[in-house]
A = this chain, B = another copy of it.
Amino acid sequence: MGVLDEGHVEVGFEQEALAIEEAVKVLLQGLGEDINREGLSKTPARVAKALREGTRGYRQKAKDIVQGALFPEAGLNNGIGHAGGVGGLVIVRDLDLFSYCESCLLPFQVKCHVGYVPSGQCVVGLSKLSRVADVFAKRLQDPQRLADDVCSALNHGIKPAGVAVVLQCLHIHFPNLELGSLDSTHQEWVKVSVCSGKGLFENAKATIWSDFLSLLKFRGINVEKTCTRDSTGPCWCPSQSFSALIPCKIETVHQMVTAVTSILRSLGEDPLRKGLVGTPNRYVRWLLNFEKTNMELKLDGYVCGKMDPFQPNCNEEEMHSELNLAFWSQCEHHLLPFHGVVHIGYFCTKGTNPIAKSILQSIVHFYGFKLQVQERITRQVAETVSSLLGGDVIVVVEASHSCMVSRGIEKLGSNTATMALLGRFSTDDAAKTMFLQRIQNTSTSRGQ
């Protein structure tokens, strides 16, 4: 549940939501999509609602949250030391949050750890540490700024002897199509850890930092205390390495950039503030990866039945598999990325031979880089491989969906799997089991 009271109706909500909807329609049309087709018709409304919900922090005040949740708690009765209401360290570990990257507008995941040393004979309700962190997470953010904002707000609200925030952030990595680095060894996540401290924690070498980091280690959380990032340093977001916008279709691209700028304004942001300059360009650049294309799937050099001298002769009884082929896609219902791996298994029919991994990866990317749903991509990959090989194909797709993280349900650890069974795999349980076992073996080696 959000912090907004039930029954709270915001002034201007409808107007802003409608403005965002119109902007999203421009983006969809810019991608060459029919905004009236069934999967997309409600997408503008969904995106507007999700963006408003996901940036509700602009309309919340941390002070309102802390006030009324400060409880008097005595310090030590006597003796020397620190405990309870005065000087005892209190930390909450492993708060799962998500935020929006101000550089590219995509959601990123946050593991948040907050600690403070009470003073003034009072402590704050533990859940408020999470609520205050969430107020600033639900804005367009950079990790270090998020940590600093949360730290300052808690310092202001609780007036403790000291307060510290440690964030471990995960950002989706972008496929770099230009460098051709689309193989499965491509890094899935960009990770960054940041710290912020006030009061006793202002000095990064203070022993109170060692105490805090020791208590994190009990939960297997290893963070360096010197991880405060220099705000003048390079941004962590991989969108910063995007090349300039492609010069074709200038008019369309310009309309899309203008639409994103208007979304920023509708959310209550200033598109001219430093962190946001260039964001509309970068977001459009990312979106254009998923432009609808009518080009034929290019499988040059591979035609069904044609022998490839570089591949061994095919044994009909042998199951072939390519596991963990990376894919990126964009959910057409929420205009948010989902990404993961595709596993493909097949038997060759007589006269065909195994397909090179690079061709299977191309098929996966062809169906990935458009507005999609996971169920459809699974079927399309299976059908395409089947058309090349004669029918006995199994495809399993495993993916993390940003929409499961950043929409209302906020299920950060969830993961979706879909399966297609064609030909022999739909009847031969032993073959299917053998393939699933192969995936499991690599899952184990992946440490899952």
Taking a contact as CB atoms under 8 Å apart, the answer to whether A379 and B440 are in contact is no
Chain A: number of interface residues, binned into ranges:
35 or more
Q: Chain B residues near A118 (CB, 8 Å)?
A: 375
A69 to chain B: closest residue by CB? B333
A1-49 contacts to B (CB < 8 Å): 1-4, 6-10, 38-39, 42
Minimum CB–CB distance from A80 to chain B (whole Å) comes to 6
Given the known inter-chain contacts A2-B1, A79-B422, A448-B218, please indicate yes or no for A376 contacting B84, CB distance below 8 A.
yes
Taking a contact as CB atoms under 8 Å apart, the answer to whether A418 and B81 are in contact is no
A90 CB contact (under 8 Å) in B38, B81, B418: B418
Q: Chain B residues near A6 (CB, 8 Å)?
A: 4, 6-10
Taking a contact as CB atoms under 8 Å apart, the answer to whether A416 and B126 are in contact is yes
Is A425 part of the binding interface, using a Cβ–Cβ cutoff of 8 Å? Answer: yes
Is A316 part of the binding interface, using a Cβ–Cβ cutoff of 8 Å? Answer: no
Taking a contact as CB atoms under 8 Å apart, the answer to whether B440 and A218 are in contact is yes
Q: Which of A291-299, A355-363, A397-405 contacts B (4 or more CB under 8 A)?
A: A397-405
CB 8 Å contact bits of A68-79 with B (1 = contact, 0 = none): 100111111101
**What are 17 A-B contacts with C-beta separation under 8 Å?**
A1-B2, A7-B9, A73-B375, A73-B376, A73-B379, A74-B379, A82-B419, A83-B379, A83-B419, A85-B375, A91-B417, A92-B416, A93-B417, A94-B414, A127-B408, A218-B417, A219-B448
Q: Top 4 A-B pairs ranked by shortest CB distance? A: A84-B379, A83-B420, A81-B422, A81-B426
Interface residues, chain A, with chain B CB atoms under 8 Å away: 1-4, 6-10, 38-39, 42, 53, 68, 71-77, 79-85, 87-96, 118, 123, 125-127, 130-131, 134, 207, 210-211, 214-215, 217-220, 333, 373-376, 378-380, 382-383, 386, 391, 393, 395-396, 398, 401, 403-404, 407-423, 425-426, 429, 432-433, 436-437, 439-440, 443, 448
